[in-house]
């Protein structure tokens, strides 16, 4: 009995010690969760992992909306129908905006790596290039065609002190952009409009400049968006655009090339990528004078896709985190599928960069001619 009593005493101590250990581990786990999910780098960008959702789509509709989005690529003719594209793109950005902002930041685009500069600094330099190309002056009015949540808008407004009006088809992005503008103290210079850049709610000849950064690739017909920019731009003024294109190295008879490009289209809501030749020709057809037509991704520029390769570990970590949040019911069902699609798309983009068949930053600097006398 004594030995049993003695064992009972040591067992109590053991359980107490084990309980303390579990409590400590639990506290460490909770601390790690808090640091990664609640107060990590992404939170400083304005979005927390626990807030991941479906934009303007209700939580219950995220999974079915993703399935509907994926079905567009099972029936390509749906994508080719121009009337379907705006809803298709709007659905895409409802699904991905939170994930982009959490893991990518507020600038939804690539930029050439600049030696000695961080990615954030390289992104800012790439955006400020627009100001220099347009020759923007304080107080002038400039249009951001496809502004997303407004990362470039804020950089350009701060650098130029021009008034920037952005347009995006997604009302959730309008909400996010306005919130960020206010937090940055730039709401006096930046405004965002919800609308279709194929039918913009602006008067003719009303802007001193215009730009688009990796946005017009969503247009079913590039001519339509270029025509709208031409219409709202003042005569003699400039429009700069960074276009997603296939390069001279792309071969339509190469199955691997085609698979890569189709993967990029699927994962980025593109009705069809244009070639580097087409974009300049379409601009001329609309009436623009082409002042510059070149690929900013070519050497001596450093590879733009290294960020995707370096971020593979982060992708895996983020995917596990999103899966956990979805399992716990914190993130909507379907967010895991969206993140997996984006992960696969990163591989296609990397292949496109490494093979040189794709560029996300083909520069066009265009001028609307002065009115004829």
Whole-angstrom distance, CA of residue 366 vs CA of residue 373? 21
Contact in structure between 212 and 146 (CB atoms under 8 Å): yes
What is the separation of C-alpha 177 from the centre of its chain, rounded to a whole number of angstroms? 13
Cα distance from N-terminal residue to C-terminal residue, the chain:
114
Q: What is the pLDDT of residues 137-190, one digit of tens each?
A: 999 999 999 999 999 999 999 999 999 999 999 999 999 999 999 999 999 999
Q: What is the pLDDT of residue 12?
A: 43
* pLDDT confidence of residue 114: 84
C-alpha–C-alpha distance, residues 101 and 45, integer Å:
7
What parts of the chain have a pLDDT lower than 70?
1-46, 75-82, 310-311, 372-373
| pLDDT (tens digit per residue) in 51-71 | 899 999 999 999 999 998 888
Residue 338: name the closest of 358, 318, 352, 353 by CA. 318
pLDDT at 22: 42
Indicate the SS3 state at residue 209: strand
Closest by CA to 199, choosing from 157, 232, 174, 171, is: 232
Q: What is the pLDDT of residue 314?
A: 76
The closest of 350, 306, 301 to 126, measured between CA atoms, is: 301
């Amino acid at each position: 009995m004594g030995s049993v009593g003695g064992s009972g005493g040591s067992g109590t101590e053991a359980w107490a010690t084990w309980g303390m250990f579990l409590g400590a581990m639990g506290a460490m786990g909770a601390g790690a969760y808090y640091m990664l999910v609640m107060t990590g780098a992404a939170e400083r960008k304005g979005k927390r992992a626990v807030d991941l959702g479906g934009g303007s789509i209700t939580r219950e509709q995220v999974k079915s909306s993703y399935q509907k989005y994926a079905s567009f690529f099972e029936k390509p003719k749906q994508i080719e129908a121009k009337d379907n594209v705006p809803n298709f793109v709007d659905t895409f950005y409802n699904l991905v905006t939170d994930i982009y902002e959490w893991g990518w930041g507020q600038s939804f685009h690539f930029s050439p790596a600049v030696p000695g500069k961080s990615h954030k600094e390289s992104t800012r330099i790439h955006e400020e290039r627009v100001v220099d190309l347009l020759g923007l002056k304080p107080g002038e009015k400039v249009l951001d065609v496809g502004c997303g949540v407004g990362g470039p808008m804020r950089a350009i407004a701060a650098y130029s002190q021009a008034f920037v009006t952005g347009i995006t088809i997604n009302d959730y992005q309008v909400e996010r952009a306005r919130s960020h503008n206010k937090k940055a103290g730039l709401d006096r210079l930046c405004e965002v409009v919800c609308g279709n850049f194929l039918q913009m709610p602006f008067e003719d000849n009303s802007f001193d400049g215009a730009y688009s950064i990796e946005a017009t690739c969503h247009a079913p017909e590039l001519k339509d968006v270029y025509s709208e920019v031409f219409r709202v731009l003042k005569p003699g003024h400039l429009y700069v655009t960074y276009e997603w294109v296939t390069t001279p190295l792309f071969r339509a008879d190469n199955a691997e090339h085609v698979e890569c490009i189709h993967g990029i289209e699927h994962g980025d809501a593109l009705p069809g990528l244009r070639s580097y030749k087409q974009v300049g020709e379409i601009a001329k057809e609309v009436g623009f004078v082409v002042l510059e037509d070149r690929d900013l991704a070519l050497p001596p520029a450093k590879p733009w896709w290294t960020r995707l390769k370096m971020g593979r570990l982060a992708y895996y970590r983020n995917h596990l985190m999103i899966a956990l949040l979805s399992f716990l019911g914190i993130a909507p069902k379907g967010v895991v599928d969206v993140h997996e699609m984006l992960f696969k798309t990163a591989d296609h983009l990397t292949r496109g960069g490494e093979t040189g068949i794709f560029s996300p930053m083909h520069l066009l600097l265009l001028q609307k001619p002065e009115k004829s006398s």
